[in-house]
Structure 1
Amino acid sequence: MNSICCKIEKVTPFNDAVYQVLLRPQTPLAFAAGQYLSIVMDDNDKRPFSIASAPGSELLELHIGAAVSESYPMQVIERLQHSDTITIEAPAGNAFLRHQSPRPRLLIAGGTGFSYIKSIIEQQMALGLQVETLFYWGCRTAEAMYGADMVHQWQQRHPWLHFVPVVEQAPANWQGKTNLLLAQIKQDFVSVADYDIYIAGRFPMVGAAREMFREMGVDEAHLYGDAFAFIK
């Protein structure tokens, strides 16, 4: 893992709870789609965030969910807003895209887990892959789904990508699904045995997903999520 100083190019809100961060590393960083970096707050405080940009990007993009009530990520945002540079440690994570696999892909994001999925989809597009890919993104509200317009545009340009937005509280004109994320997936699939599954989100959701997938015949050699390293 490398320790790299980065210039802080941009810290702007997507909405009232999620910030986009753009970092310019002083030395090039080689990483795989789906890996993460750690923001070094101090020698004993290193905070992990998925890299939202695809490999080869000039800038490193992060999506940090930092509602006022969540002090842990908000401390990172405040540090970034009041600094010119920040040190990162990267790359890390084993849940990166296995781009040579021909199996269909099921991508799942809860909230800002979209940052992880964004890197994977952008890498698939960059490599010209045609593997059938279903992307389920779950949020509490439609307003929280800050990248939905971007994903709809990807879907229009790439027939292999199928986007299923899922919200718990839907507006009157909602075009997606209204449900809990995992409940919707369970409703839509009888078995997930044939899929490569990539998942990111809050640990309780990811842990519950693994138990659900086991009941649905998952091949755990093809189930990828860095949260699993911390969930027993």
Structure 2
Amino acid sequence: MKTIRCQIEKVTPFNDAVYQVLLKPETAFDFKAGQYLCVVMGEKDKRPFSIASAPNSALIELHIGAAVSESYPMQVVERLQSASHIDIEAPAGDAYLRSYSRRPRILIAGGTGFSYIKSIVEQQIASGETINTKLYWGCRNEDAMYYQEIARQWHDDYEWLEFIPTIEQASANWQGKQANLLEQIKHDFISLNGYDIYIAGRFDMVGAAREVFRELGVEEAHLYGDAFAFIK
């Protein structure tokens, strides 16, 4: 990783718990779709966030889940709101898109894990890929699904991509699945053998997902998620 100075272009709330951040790097750097960066808060305080933009984007996009009660991410948001520039270290992460693979893909996001998935989908679009892809995004309720408009647009625009929005608390006019995310995947698949699977979300969800996927015959060499490096 290298340290890069960035101009803070925009910090905007998607809702009352998630912020969109746009950064303009002062020097160009290469990264792969699905990698992350670290916001430098101090010499020994570097906080990781998935890069939500694709590698060909002029701006770096982040999605930071920062409810008031969660001081760790909110400290980052407050720093970004009060400063004109921030240092980042990038790139990092081994769960990047394997563009060379011709296997069908399952992309799984829990909450702000969508930022990781967004980079991967936008890279697929930019590269003209047509690999069959199923995108699952699980949230507590519809308000928490802060960027569903763009995901539904992908579903409409690209025949190779199917978006399966899944929430636990649904209203009467909800257009999607009402279920626990992992339970929905168990319902939809008899076997996960043969798929490339990319996943991001809270560590406890990702850890539980791996156990569920093992029951469904997942090939773990084709299961990608940076959380696994921390939940051995």
Normalised by the length of structure 1, the TM-score is: 0.99
Shift of 1:164: 0.3
Alignment match, 2:156 = 156
Count how many residue pairs are aligned between Structure 1 and Structure 2.
232
Which residue of structure 1 aligns with residue 36 of structure 2? Answer: 36
Distance 1:61 1:150 in 2: 14
> Which residues in structure 2 correspond to 1:25-104 (within 5 Å)?
25-104=25-104
Measured against aligned partners, the alpha-carbon deviations of 1:111-146 in whole angstroms (never above 9, x if no partner) come to: 000000000000000000000000000000011101
Q: Deviations over 1:185-212 (max 9, x none)?
A: 0111110011100000000000000111
Q: How does 1:1-232 map to 2 (within 5 A)?
A: 1-232=1-232
Runs (4+) of structure 1 exceeding 6 A deviation are none
CA distance in 2, matches of 1:161, 1:192: 17
Deviation of 1:149 (Å): 0.8
Q: Provide the rounded CA distance (Å) in 2 between the counterparts of 1:16 and 1:171.
A: 19
Whole-Å Cα distance in 2 between the matches of residues 158 and 203 of structure 1? 30
Q: Deviations over 1:45-84 (max 9, x none)?
A: 0000000000021000000000011100000000000000
Residues 8-35 of structure 1: CA distance to partner in whole angstroms, max 9, x if unpaired?
0000000110000000000001000000
What is the percentage of aligned positions where both structures have the same residue?
A: 69
1: distance between equivalents of 2:227 and 2:181? 17
TM-score (norm 2): 0.99
Q: Which amino acid aligns with 2:93?
A: G
Q: Secondary structure at the match of 1:143?
A: helix
Show structure 1 runs of 5+ residues with no match.
none
Q: Give the superposed CA RMSD.
A: 0.5
Q: Which amino acid aligns with 1:63?
A: H
Counterparts of 1:67 and 1:134 in 2: how far apart (Å)?
A: 29
Q: Distance in 2 between matches of 1:152 and 1:177?
A: 13
User: How far apart are the structure 1 equivalents of 2:167 and 2:107?
Assistant: 16
2: distance between equivalents of 1:180 and 1:89?
35
Deviations 1:159-218 (CA, angstroms, capped at 9, x unpaired)? 000000000000110110001100110111110011100000000000000111111101
User: Matched residues in 2 for 1:117 and 1:129: separation?
Assistant: 15
